[in-house]
Structure 1
């Protein structure tokens, strides 16, 4: 039962990130009209850095696809984690109305990482040459 719930949650999580990443390339979701001024300035600054938005979009799409498949979920969760921290910080400092959703997504991301912690152990274990 836990595996089915985890799969559904990871599927929805992955689809949300795929959608967000594709939107960075194709701009099919309109920006909200009532966006705070600080958020507008932040988005304008992000747009000035020409490579940042496509990079984040690429990581979101690839990470979202990887999270859906159990075999690659650990890699996808780690790929999305820095983006998720950025989303959380933007929501804390510029758009607090999105903070509940950001916290839920962060919790799902951390849940995936904890669920796959054994796959990360070879990267952090002390090895001798």
Structure 2
């Protein structure tokens, strides 16, 4: 049962990342109207750096696809980890209202890392 729940959560997490990455290219998700002013300013600053959002979008798409596939899930976690650090820091510093959702997403990511810890050992030896 644990493995089934893990696989379902991993696929949902991968689909969430895939959707977020595709939205950065196709702009099909409207921006919420009630964003904090500091977050609006941060988003505007990110858009000023023309290559940054496409890079994040590519990382989200690639990480999402890799996490959906069980064999490449460990690599997907490595790809998406820096993006998730940015998501966490943004929510901690300028948009704390999103922290409950970020905590759930981080719990899934950490579970993926924990379940694949043996695959990471060669990187730290």
TM bucket normalised to smaller: over 0.9
Output aligned runs, 1:37-56, within 5 Å. Answer: 37-56=37-56
Alignment of 1:25 onto 2:25: yes
Output aligned runs, 1:118-129, within 5 Å. Answer: 118-125=118-125
Unaligned runs of 5+ in 2: none
Aligned counterparts of 1:84 and 1:46: Cα–Cα separation in 2:
16
Q: Indicate the SS of the match to 1:38.
A: helix
Aligned counterparts of 1:59 and 1:103: Cα–Cα separation in 2:
20
If the length of structure 1 is used for normalisation, what is the TM-score? 0.95
1:60, CA displacement in angstroms? 0.3
**Structure 1: 4+ residue segments shifted above 3 A:** none
Which structure has the greater CA radius of gyration? 1
If the length of structure 2 is used for normalisation, what is the TM-score? 0.98
Task: Give 2:69's aligned residue.
Answer: 69
Unaligned runs of 5+ in 1: none
Paired residues in the alignment total 125
Residues 5-56 of structure 1 deviation map (CA, whole Å, 9 limit, x = unaligned): 1110001000000000000000100001111110111000000000000000
